Amino acid sequence: DARVTQTPRHKVTEMGQEVTMRCQPILGHNTVFWYRQTMMQGLELLAYFRNRAPLDDSGMPKDRFSAEMPDATLATLKIQPSEPRDSAVYFCASGLVGGNIQYFGAGTRLSVL
Amino acid sequence: GENVEQHPSTLSVQEGDSAVIKCTYSDSASNYFPWYKQELGKGPQLIIDIRSNVGEKKDQRIAVTLNKTAKHFSLHITETQPEDSAVYFCAASIYGGSQGNLIFGKGTKLSVKP
């Protein structure tokens, strides 16, 4: 049963700490998306990759967020330093170039105290 | 860029009634309109989609309609059941586009009361 795997599922940290969220896309998928979900803003696209190359990260606060794909099986989203306003659920999704269906992971719920 | 508006933000219906969620989009180039369902504690999952070359698509109790002229599309759920309770998101995109990114609406929380 192919699925997108995100770790950790929950993260509680203190303001100023570094946070790293990981995503394993479905094997063979070549697009990866990072979203942030809050009650106020809904689903916000932070960044997306095609064939491991970043295509657009305009939705990300550049000074503290960074997204990478070290290899085809791993995508990471880092926040340094974290702030209370970063508290949200972060989703990773993967898909195929030329297709439009995105398959979402279960998310990482981040709480920054 | 594309902008998707979704209404209502919350919807409560009695079990067995129908539910309708509406979305409008701004970019006439968009031609692919999926609907995602997000259950509590899970990520959104695709439930139905429609391309602009058709006006309606059905899958059992759910259907989606599209009006290209008016730039709006709707999700219809008939004979609602408690397990339909979830947050529903509409989205718009260009099918097969090189980027493949979806623009989502802000979601509708559907509650089906037994």
Query: Of the candidates A41, A43, A100, which has its C-beta nearest B100's C-beta?
Result: A100
Cβ separation of B99 and A56 shorter than 8 Å? yes
pLDDT of B54 reads 84
* Closest approach of B43 to chain A, Cα-based (Å): 5
pLDDT of B50 reads 93
Measured at the CA of A57, the angle between CA A56 and CA A60, to 5 degrees, comes to 155
- pLDDT by residue (tens digit) across B7-60? 999 999 999 999 999 999 999 989 899 999 999 999 999 999 998 888 999 999
Helix, strand and coil content of chain B, in percent to the nearest 5, comes to 5, 55, 45
- pLDDT by residue (tens digit) across B49-97? 998 888 999 999 999 999 999 999 999 999 999 999 999 999 998 766 6
User: Which structure tokens are listed for B58?
Assistant: 């059905």
Measured at the CA of B106, the angle between CA B17 and CA A49, to 5 degrees, comes to 125
Query: Of the candidates B34, B41, B45, which has its C-beta nearest A100's C-beta?
Result: B34
A81 upstream amide cis, omega within 30 of 0? yes
B33–chain A Cβ distance below 8 A for any pair: no
- Contact by Cβ (8 Å): B44, B38: yes
Q: Does pLDDT of B102 surpass 90?
A: no
d(CA B95, CA A79): 32
In the A/B pair of chains, how many CB contacts fall below 8 A?
61
> What torsion do the CA atoms of A69, A74, A80, A83 make, to the nearest 10 degrees?
120
Residue the block writes with tokens 């190359």: A53
B46–chain A Cβ distance below 8 A for any pair: yes
Walk along chain A (113 residues) and give the pLDDT tens digit of each residue: 689 999 999 999 999 999 999 999 999 999 999 999 998 888 989 999 999 998 888 888 889 999 999 999 999 999 999 999 999 999 999 998 777 889 999 999 999 99
Mutation for testing the B interface, residue in A92, A100, A104, A109 having most B CBs under 10 Å: A100
